[in-house]
Amino acid sequence: MDRNQSHRQVATMKQSLFDQGYLDHEQFNQLEELQDDANPNFVEEVVTLYYRDSARLVHSIEQALEKSPIDFNKLDSYMHQFRGSSSSIGAKKVKAECSLFREYCRAGNGEGCMRTFQQVKKEYTALRKKLETFFQLARQAGPVDRARRPK
Q: How many CA atoms lie within 13 A of 48 on its CB side?
A: 7
Give 6 or 88: the residue with its C-beta nearer to other proteins: 88
Give least dist CB 2 to other proteins, A.
32
Give least dist CB 5 to other proteins, A.
31
Give 22 or 50: the residue with its C-beta nearer to other proteins: 50
CA distance 73 to 56: 18
Question: Hey, is 23 helix, strand or coil?
Answer: strand
Give least dist CB 144 to other proteins, A.
18
Element (H, E) at 62: helix 42-66
CA distance 78 to 54: 10
Give 7 or 74: the residue with its C-beta nearer to other proteins: 74
DSSP states along 71-131: -HHHHHHHHHHHHHHHHHHTBHHHHHHHHHHHHHHHTT-HHHHHHHHHHHHHHHHHHHHHH
Give least dist CB 9 to other proteins, A.
27
Give 34 or 107: the residue with its C-beta nearer to other proteins: 34
Residues in contact with other proteins by the rule CB under 8 A = 27, 30-31, 34, 36, 39, 42, 45-46, 49-50, 53, 77, 80-81, 83-85, 87-89
